[in-house]
Amino acid sequence: MAIKQLFETKLTDTKSTDVEGVGTLRHENDGTVYRWVKNRNASAFTAKQPVCYDAGNVGSNSLYKSVNSPVTADLMLQAGIAVTAIPASGGLCYGWVLVEGYCQDARVLGVSGTAIAIGDELVSANATTTLTRATAVGTAPKRLLTFQALEAVSAATGATYAKDVYVSCL
């Protein structure tokens, strides 16, 4: 299989048709890796939000082709971070998702009483567009550090912040 090297879209582009080949990986010079995916949600993604693969596609070659907002059934299948807002358009909208590398200003929720330290495992939760600290780092269900905090968040917060994270969902 040949590796695609020329792309029709910028990383911030979205399209209503599959112009890049859904599931295609894009390797950048800085070491980051992106995947061209279809938004299968009835609603749009927010820029810098976590997205998941659909557990209903496990065991098929379409697992890496469509993503949705985090729901309980799919939380163990983290797909990465949406680069930009990806509209729903009846499920016919495509865009880039960061699957490996440094993500500046990801959506991180600071939970009151739970500080986030550099290196902490971050997770997404059902029906959220943010990441937050895993309640018990390193215990089941272990997600193999798919998202790792690169900035700290105070324990006295309760708001969404733009924080740097390392993404490892490849």
The tens digit of pLDDT for each residue in 156-169 reads: 777 889 999 999 99
**Residue 170 in tokens:** 């490849």
- 89 plus 64 within the same structural domain: yes
* 84-86-90 Cα angle (round to 5): 180
18 within domain boundaries? no
- pLDDT of 2 reads 58
Please identify, among 99, 115, 130, the residue that sits at the C-terminal boundary of a domain.
99
CA atoms of 86 and 50, how far apart (whole Å)? 12
Which residue range is the domain that position 35 belongs to?
Answer: 25-99
Q: Is the pLDDT of residue 140 over 60?
A: no
**Residue 11 within any structural domain of the chain:** no
- State whether 133 and 154 are in the same domain: yes
Domain for residue 164, yes or no? yes
Q: Do the bridges between strand 33-39 and strand 131-133 make them parallel or antiparallel, or are there none, so unpaired?
A: unpaired
Residue 118 shares a structural domain with residue 58: no
Residue 70 sits in a domain of what CATH number? 2.40.300
Confirm whether 65 is domain-assigned: yes
User: Is 69 among the domain residues?
Assistant: yes
Helix and strand tally (H, E) in the chain?
0, 10
157 located within any domain: yes
Residue 119 shares a structural domain with residue 86 = no
Strand partners, 33: 27, 100
Domains in the chain: how many in total? 2
**Is 15 among the domain residues?**
no
Examine the domain organization and report whether 57 and 116 are in the same domain: no
Same domain, 91 and 121: no
Q: Is 5 within the bounds of a domain?
A: no
32 and 85 housed in the same domain: yes
Instruction: Kindly report the pTM of this predicted structure.
Output: 0.89
Q: Are residues 57 and 110 in the same domain?
A: no
- Looking at per-residue confidence, does 147 or 144 come out higher? 147
Amino acid at 126: N
pLDDT digits (tens, 9 = 90+) for 27-54: 999 999 999 999 988 889 999 999 998 8
Dihedral sign, Cα of residue 63, residue 50, residue 155, residue 151: positive
